[in-house]
Amino acid sequence: MGKNILITGASGFIGSFLVEEAIKRNYNTFAGIRNTSSRKYLNDPRVHFLELDFSKEMCLENSLRDAATRFGSFDYIIHNAGVTRAKDNETFNRINYENTVRFVEALQQTKLVPQKFIYISSLASFGPGNNDDPITSQHTRSPLTAYGRSKLKAEQYLYSTTDFPFLIINPTAVYGPREKDVFFLIKTIERHMEIYIGNSQQLLSFIHVEDLCEAIFLSMESPVINQNLLISDKHVYTSKTFNSTIKTKLNKKTLCLVLPVKIVRLVAVISEFISRKSGNAPIINRERMKEFEAKNWGVDCSEICNLGFTPKYNLDSGLTHTIDWYKEQGWLKK
């Protein structure tokens, strides 16, 4: 019998790939979802579904106890559920931080602490690098956004626990099939627009979702514990290289627009105003602007590489794979 693994946020982009990776590795795989979650990418008959309500500790404890009675306790948990966009700062805090605290407490309360609890955090909890030096796990924390701060708070909480074996994964920007943010940038280039905010030489890092899953399982199955692991494909790119790669893949000519920061800041203010009125997450806000303006998002991922991680994709091959998927699915014209 394989080991039991619970993956929260299983209905989302990264979660659905984590579920596929767990099945491939013969885990008894439990997809943690909400009753409203889409199951579009969770159609393998071997997947067990577990509805979890992180907002109510008693409900959470009952669901966990019930699952453990029926299937045995979870050997591993990947807590991937989270929000990357929200209508206000409080929502980031509630979902990324408070839900994590409630989840950990429910596991402790029910005595269902797993062998390892993997928390999917983000590079945003570190903030940008100094000068041109890649960000390391020793980097002084300076998140620029409420999103980054909520992830950092959850990390600090994990470090404050006792007898709770955790590992924190900090992925850089993740792309691949099913993803919608990088898709939006690709779509912009398909429409012949190449847009930069401030400058075209921002340093960026990326990871293909399949490689991220490989790195997460590799570290989960390793003896490494109670630390952060930064994940990228080992390379640092400029925003110009990123756009040029997409342009070449799509064989498109573009109009290059370098938008002045002041103009985009004004758009951000308007977007925040509309968001407050509509209750939807803003497309851009002043804090996200700081991320666009930061010069350096390069990552030193030597710690995960020392565990034997070798990414299958660089940006060139990863974007080819991703764009091919978008075309097959009709998201992009063939």
Ligand X SMILES: NC(=O)c1ccc[n+]([C@@H]2O[C@H](COP(=O)([O-])OP(=O)(O)OC[C@H]3O[C@@H](n4cnc5c(N)ncnc54)[C@H](OP(=O)(O)O)[C@@H]3O)[C@@H](O)[C@H]2O)c1
Residues that bind ligand X (CB under 6 A): 9, 11-15, 34, 36-38, 54, 80-84, 95, 120, 122, 171, 173-174
Q: How far is the CB of 180 from ligand X (least distance, A)?
A: 8
Cβ proximity to ligand X: between 12 and 298 the closer is 12
Tokens of 114: 């797993």
Cβ proximity to ligand X: between 173 and 289 the closer is 173
Cβ proximity to ligand X: between 134 and 171 the closer is 171
Q: How far is the CB of 204 from ligand X (least distance, A)?
A: 12
Cβ proximity to ligand X: between 47 and 81 the closer is 81
SS (H, E, C) the chain: CCCEEEEECCCCHHHHHHHHHHHHCCCEEEEEECCCCCCCCCCCCCCEEEECCCCCHHHHHHHHHHHHHHHCCCCEEEECCCCCCCCCHHHHHHHHHHHHHHHHHHHHHCCCCCCEEEEECCHHHCCCCCCCCCECCCCCCCCCCHHHHHHHHHHHHHHHCCCCCEEEEEECEEECCCCCHHHHHHHHHHCCEEEEECCCCCEECEEEHHHHHHHHHHHHCCCCCCCEEEECCCCCEEHHHHHHHHHHHHCCCCEEEEECHHHHHHHHHHHHHHHHHHCCCCCCCHHHHHHHHCCECCECCHHHHHCCCCCCCCHHHHHHHHHHHHHHCCCCCC
How far apart (Å, rounded) are the C-alpha atoms in residues 191 and 62? 50
Q: How far is the CB of 262 from ligand X (least distance, A)?
A: 27
Cβ proximity to ligand X: between 116 and 178 the closer is 178
Q: How far is the CB of 218 from ligand X (least distance, A)?
A: 17
Cβ proximity to ligand X: between 210 and 254 the closer is 210
Q: How far is the CB of 248 from ligand X (least distance, A)?
A: 23
Cβ proximity to ligand X: between 6 and 254 the closer is 6
Q: How far is the CB of 316 from ligand X (least distance, A)?
A: 19
**Residue 306 CA, distance from chain mean position:** 22
For ligand X, the nearest residue by Cβ is 12
Helix axes of 315-328 and 239-250: crossing angle, nearest 10 degrees? 40
Q: How far is the CB of 266 from ligand X (least distance, A)?
A: 26
Q: How far is the CB of 1 from ligand X (least distance, A)?
A: 27
Cβ proximity to ligand X: between 50 and 264 the closer is 50
